[in-house]
A and B are shown apart, each in its own frame.
Chain A
Amino acid sequence: MTRFTFQIDGVEITAEPGQTIMEAADEAGIYIPRLCDHEGLRHQGGCRVCTVKAGGRSVAACTQPAAPDLTVENETPHINKLRRDLVGMLFNEGNHLCPICEASGNCELQAMAYRLGMTEPTKFPYLEPCRPLDASHPDIALDTNRCISCGRCVRASQDVDGKGVFGYVGRGIHRHIGANGADLADTGAAVTDFAISAEVCPVGCIIRKREGFTRPIGERDYDQHLIGHEIEKKRDE
């Protein structure tokens, strides 16, 4: 298989046939913002935060194949405006009250807002869901009012843990994460599952009991670095 080159924001990078724009960008140390995508999981293309302009068309970088000589726009004012709108929608769809959320500082939604320069409320209305908290499981709690429907837990449980603890239920604005049973205690979920691990849920929806605030605010992931730092530092090396 012969590698080919294409451009992201004027930087020439190489890709293998079959790679998506995001996969090639990650390898080259160029960060394309994303929320529903996570390394090691199938691409979903649902959050649309990774929207880029490729050859003049707006596409999701996580699912769009790279192609020879493609010109991709990633960090332009226009694309970042779209991303701010999408992140704003996700904030207002759920109840994201950062000051009282255990995930604050480790939260990818919050970190993405900071990266995109969102410093004040948007014009969007708040939808204020009030789904019941599922605290049935001895080690895990689930607050789907903070869910951003990224589906990372669904894919992690299905494909990595081989369990299928989570799934999407409902349609449209009512679509949300459901447990494979009457409640979470009724499933085979274990706190040791990859799906339950800190890296899978980007927000404060999946909560591991008895480990709240083990790392103080101010010392958390995105207190140290911008989101995307892990990928961007590859380029500096």
Chain B
Amino acid sequence: MEQHPQSASDQGQIALICARHDNDPHRMLDILRDVQDQFRWISRATMQTVADQTGLTQVAVEGVVSFYAFLSQEPKGRITIRLCDDIIDRFAGMPKVAEAFEAALDIAVGQTSANGAFSLEYTPCIGLCDQAPAAMINDVVLTALTPEKVRDVVAQLKDGKRPEDLISDQFDDLPPHARATQMVENNIKHAGAVLLGPVPDNAGLRKALELAPARIIDQIEASGLRGCGGAGFTTGRKWRFAADTADDRRFIICNADEGEPGTFKDRVLLTERPHLLMEGMTIAAHAVGAREGILYLRGEYVYLRELLQEALAARRADGLLGRNIMGIDGFDFDNRLQIGAGAYICGEEGALISSCEGLPGEPKTRPPFPVTQGYLGHPTVVNNVETFCHAARILDRGAQWFFDMGTKGSHGTKLFSVSGDCINPGIYELPYGLSVRELLEMAGGKDAAAVLVGGPSGTMIARDTFDRKLTFDDLATGGAIVVFSSDRNILEIVEYYMSFFVHESCGYCTPCRIGNVFLQKAIAKFRQGLANPTDIAYLRDLSATIIETSRCGLGMTSPNPILSTLDNFPLVYSAMVKPPQDRLRATFDIQSAISDARVLAKRRSTIYDKDFGK
């Protein structure tokens, strides 16, 4: 088996990286990210060194390395180019962009150039659907790519420029916020009253510190705030459960692992409202009695790392993080930044905690729930970026102010990330309760034939139901609104989303690991025109089993692209099915079934073997 020679100095370097993270196995993701950045791959010998330093087995380290898409067991190029493979990017011209990269670099997607300079690969949605097609070049992102731009980019990189130089000649002199906004447009199309309008600094925190912790939770409960990541659990109740535990070590975790295809609202909050987010986390810490926090940033948003670190440092310097916050004796709270490494499942609460603990991002068994036994077994509140920002504003302006916005059961405002076939893709902060039609009018989506609300885990609706409302009780969404015009092929979209779920399933439980592959194969049959009428019932039947038996939210929602299009676009499916002829299944291709045997028997066919005689 492969045994990569590892020099003594390499081994020393790796040991140093481990030591920098206290040889702590719970910091495995940080260690492996650093190793990946420095060596561009993680060999078996490296995994052994890391295992020795952290007291784990080699296979446990390999379990982590092989789980995350941004960690590699093969050498990667000095510059790794990751093309966003989302359906929106495809529709926006990614195939031509990918071809241009392949031609300019002289490698195919999935390959590394022989001189070790470049790797080219695909990655799922990187949160830039409003400026697709987009790509990550190491830690830098490029948006609105065209084949011409690609040729220029590759020429500059081949000339020895760093990816950062593509953004600005003075990149290193720019402050972090300018670096981020020169790479990525915010695209704020509508600023609402709560988050994107004017926000005074730390006003909510100041008022929170005048209240007893239980009164803070009362305020949050009275505001009607519900989690903004998609699931919509009542925030106040979550905080109260954690506060009511007997444990004296509690944690606040911010879920900035926004991975639902079509969602990019947290990207904008992290860029424009990092202090409001940290203020919200600090208020939560005070309410719940937590001293430690983690901000989990998805690996795709690594370009925001310096911006967030700067905000953390500024708050520490201003006495807003650390010991005796705002001069209150004994109120200590600090945050560490945890960066992910390419795994959609880590947006699931339990998987996110696993990932923070240095493990593969596998959801945890529930019960116990994180609010009683979460990070390292301690009570943990996990909330979305937007939820924490709302909490800070509620403490400043009062629960009633927030409660009065929106509709019954869905209070306050919501950030919608609108992308796809519309004139004005971007971020819209609006009160809950608008109809899809109203939002489409604002975004210029008058040709919309289908709208995907809540991303692939959500619901795809057709024109006849555009009057449905954007609320928790009707069309719930973590923020994604993806617009498709009548030029788009529904089955192509569905097949893409199923391949996404197959790629992102953690593999822990049977129905999600295997059932989604079967669904993907079944949809492929429809697209190829090989489906027969019973396959519609098969899709529904298999979907029902996956939903009912899966262990976490991924499998409980992954069949939704199929089910919601079967319900709302039934003709798309019925037009593709053919009754079997001659009692043979259309999917059965006898020539391909016997082709191996023909080769073995050296009985080739002049008709069916295209290579016959060559």
CB distance A125 to B518 under 8 Å?
yes
Category for how many chain A residues contact B = 35 or more
Q: Which residues of A contact B343 (CB under 8 A)?
A: 171
Q: Which one of A49, A175, A179 has the highest number of Cβ atoms from chain B below 10 Å of its Cβ?
A: A175
Distance between A138 CB and nearest chain B CB, rounded to angstroms: 16
Which residues of B have CB within 8 Å of A169? 59, 62-63, 66
Q: How far is the CA of A150 from the CA of B381 in the complex (A)?
A: 31
Say whether B67 contacts A82, CB under 8 Å: no
Please measure, in the bound complex, the distance between the C-alpha atom of A94 and the C-alpha atom of B504, giving whole angstroms: 20
Mark B1-31 against chain A: 1 for CB-CB distance below 8 A, else 0. Answer: 1110000000000000000000000000000
| Chain B residues near A49 (CB-CB < 8 A) | 510
Task: Kindly state whether residue A45 has any CB partner on chain B within 8 Å.
Answer: yes
Contact string, A168-199, partner B, CB cutoff 8 A, digits 1/0? 11111111001111110010000000000000
| Contact status of A180 and B58, CB under 8 A, knowing A45-B365, A82-B545, A167-B63 | yes
* Interface assignment of A107: CB less than 8 Å from any CB of chain B: no
- Answer whether A172 and B502 are a contact pair too, CB < 8 Å, given A46-B508, A164-B59: yes
Q: Is B226 an interface residue (CB 8 A)?
A: no
**Interface residues in B, total, Cβ within 8 A:** 39
B502 touches A173 (CB 8 A): yes
Q: Is the interface of B mostly helix, strand, loop or mixed?
A: helix
B521 contacts chain A at the CB level, 8 A cutoff: yes
A173 CB contact (under 8 Å) in B67, B367, B514, B545: B514
* Interface membership of A95, Cβ < 8 A: no
Whether B360 sits at the interface, judged by CB under 8 Å, is yes
* Cβ distance A120 to chain B, nearest Cβ, rounded Å: 15
Contact between chains at A181 and B58 (CB < 8 Å): yes
By beta carbon, the residue of chain A nearest B366 is A63
Instruction: Bits for B243-283, please: 1 = Cβ < 8 Å to A, else 0.
Output: 00000000000000000000000000000000000000000
Inter-subunit contact B63/A48 (CB<8 Å)? no
By beta carbon, the residue of chain B nearest A180 is B59
Question: Do A45 and B509 contact each other (CB < 8 Å), given the known contacts A86-B549, A90-B514, A123-B538?
Answer: yes
Find out whether the CB atom of A175 lies under 8 angstroms from the CB atom of B509.
Answer: no
A47: interface (CB < 8 Å): yes
CB-CB under 8 A from B60, the residues of chain A are 164, 167
- Residue contact A149 to B507, C-beta cutoff 8 Å: yes
Q: How far is the CA of A180 from the CA of B57 in the complex (A)?
A: 7
> Chain B contacts of A168 at CB under 8 A?
63, 360, 507
Q: What is the CA–CA distance of A63 and B513 in the complex, to the nearest angstrom?
A: 19
Convert A84-120 into 0s and 1s, putting 1 for each residue whose CB lies closer than 8 angstroms to a CB of B.
0110011011000000000000000000000000000
Are B507 and A172 touching (Cβ within 8 A)?
Answer: yes
When distances are taken between beta carbons in the complex, the residues of chain B under 8 Å from A167 are 57, 59-60, 62-63
Beyond A89-B518, A171-B67, A173-B513, whether A182 also contacts B508 by CB under 8 A is no
User: B44: nearest residue on chain A (CB-CB)?
Assistant: A182
Q: For residue B516, give the distance in angstroms from its CB to the closest CB of chain A.
A: 8
Which of A86, A180, A186 interacts with B510 by CB under 8 Å?
Answer: A86
Q: A58 in the interface, Cβ–Cβ < 8 Å?
A: yes
In the assembled complex, the Cα of A178 lies from the Cα of B73 at a distance in Å of: 14
Chain A: CB-nearest residue to B1: A182
- Determine whether A124 belongs to the interface, using a CB cutoff of 8 Å to chain B: yes
A31 within 8 A of B: no
Query: Does B548 interact with chain A (Cβ within 8 Å)?
Result: yes
Q: Is the CB of B551 within 8 A of A174?
A: no
With a cutoff of 8 Å between Cβ atoms, the chain A residues found around residue B542 in the complex are: 85
**Which of chain B's residues has its CB closest to A60's CB?**
B551
Across the two chains, which residue of chain A brings its CB closest to B343?
A: A171
Name the one of B58, B545, B548, B551 contacting A45, with C-beta atoms under 8 angstroms.
Answer: B551
A127 to B, closest residue via Cβ:
B517
Given contacts A63-B365, A164-B59, A171-B343, contact A124 B518 (CB under 8 A): yes
Of the residues A43, A46, A125, A166, contact of B509 by C-beta under 8 Å: A46
Q: Is the CB of A48 within 8 A of B551?
A: yes
Which residue of B is nearest A173, CB measured?
Answer: B517
CA distance A125 to B517 in the complex (A): 9
Interchain nearest-CB distance for A124 vs B (Å): 5
Contact A178 B59, beta carbon cutoff 8 Å: yes
- Interface flag for A74 (CB, 8 Å): no
Chain A residues, CB < 8 A from B538: 123
* B535 nearest CB neighbor, chain A only: A123
Measuring CB to CB, which residues of chain B are less than 8 angstroms from any residue of chain A? 1-3, 44, 57-60, 62-63, 66-67, 343, 360, 365, 367, 502-511, 513-515, 517-518, 521, 538, 542, 545, 548-551
Given contacts A46-B510, A82-B545, A173-B514, 19 further A-B contacts (CB under 8 A): A43-B365, A45-B365, A45-B509, A48-B509, A51-B549, A65-B367, A81-B545, A85-B511, A85-B549, A149-B507, A170-B66, A171-B66, A171-B360, A171-B505, A173-B505, A173-B513, A173-B517, A175-B506, A180-B59
